[in-house]
Amino acid sequence: MMPQFAKRAVCRINWDNMAVGLSIFCAGAGQESAAGRLCVRFSTPVFEAVKAGGTPMLIEAWVGALPTRYSSTLIFSAYSDMAIGLSLMFNVRLPLNFNSPYKATSIIEFWRRWHMTLSRWLRDYLYIPLGGSRLGTSRRYANLVITMLLGGLWHGAGWTFVIWGALHGFYLLLNHAWRAFKARLGWDDGGRLAALGAGALTFLAVVVGWVFFRADSSRLR
């Protein structure tokens, strides 16, 4: 982003960028205020009840978990779109931050679609300096878990974020190990049915992670 500020064009009004940027900003603002907040209305009462010591029934638990998954995506994606639109109005192009993450059929793909700027930062400044995949399989898996643990702490100093990061580190470890196992046996992707099952499993794993992310950390002490 920084080299863009050295260009003369940044200091001039570009009405095309103004129009497109304003459209993106308004779309993001509408998504944040409408869809995102609507999901929070369903999930917040469930988490507040648990915080007060209640135990939700199965359906109530899913009513709390599923909107949490959508609200996190909608609100965060909306803020990203608002930032992208606002910067474009000033002729500065920010990178795309979300690419339909819940279409992912694996946790590896999920992190390539979800919060892409953070994913690249974790890769470039934590995973690769730790050794990445250059020091053998065991060290590679350890680096994945350490990176995701630190990525969890980046969101806040609470046990819920630590558990969320550790969970996603474990997910990534399993995903890479499964891919290596399939490659060693020469298995193919399995077609559309296998992709549907992989997508459903990825979705379920991510939802479980969001429950810890959203939960009150005082309940874990």
Q: List pLDDT tens digits, range 29-54.
A: 888 777 656 666 666 666 666 666 66
Residues 31/73, Cβ–Cβ less than 8 Å: no
What ranges in 90-136 are assigned the alpha helix state H? 107-113, 116-122
The CA distance from 142 to 138, in Å, is 6
pLDDT at position 62, please? 60
pLDDT at position 6, please? 85
Long-range pairs, 105-113, Cβ under 8 A, ≥24: 105/195, 105/198, 105/199, 105/202, 106/175, 106/198, 106/202, 107/168, 107/171, 107/172, 107/174, 107/175, 107/202, 107/205, 107/206, 108/172, 108/175, 108/176, 108/179, 109/202, 110/202, 110/206, 111/168, 111/172
pLDDT digits over 167-197, tens only? 999 999 999 999 999 999 988 877 888 999 9
pLDDT at position 49, please? 63
Residues 147/122, Cβ–Cβ less than 8 Å: yes
Which tokens in the block code for residue 194? 């296998």
State the catalytic residues: 155
Which tokens in the block code for residue 85? 């639109």
Chain centroid, CA 10 distance in Å: 31
pLDDT band at 56 (very low <50, low <70, confident <90, very high): low
Could you give the C-alpha distances from 140 to 49, 86, 133, 135, 187, in angstroms and in order? 40, 39, 5, 7, 23
Residue 216: pLDDT over 80: no
* Cβ neighbours, 10 Å, residue 50: 18
Higher pLDDT, 59 or 141: 141
pLDDT at position 196, please? 93
pLDDT at position 73, please? 75
pLDDT band at 156 (very low <50, low <70, confident <90, very high): confident
Residue 22: pLDDT over 90: yes
pLDDT at position 38, please? 61
Find the angle CA(113)-CA(119)-CA(120) to the nearest 5 degrees. Answer: 110
Q: Mean pLDDT over residues 49-63, rounded?
A: 63
Task: Tell me what the pLDDT averaged over the chain comes to.
Answer: 85
DSSP assigned state of 163: H
Which tokens in the block code for residue 12? 């001039």
pLDDT at position 220, please? 47
Which residues neighbour 151 within 8 Å (Cβ) at sequence distance 6 or greater?
118, 122, 126, 165, 168
- Helix, coil or strand: residue 14: coil
Q: Mean pLDDT over residues 199-214, rounded?
A: 88
pLDDT digits over 73-125, tens only? 778 888 999 999 999 999 999 999 999 898 999 999 999 999 999 999 999 99
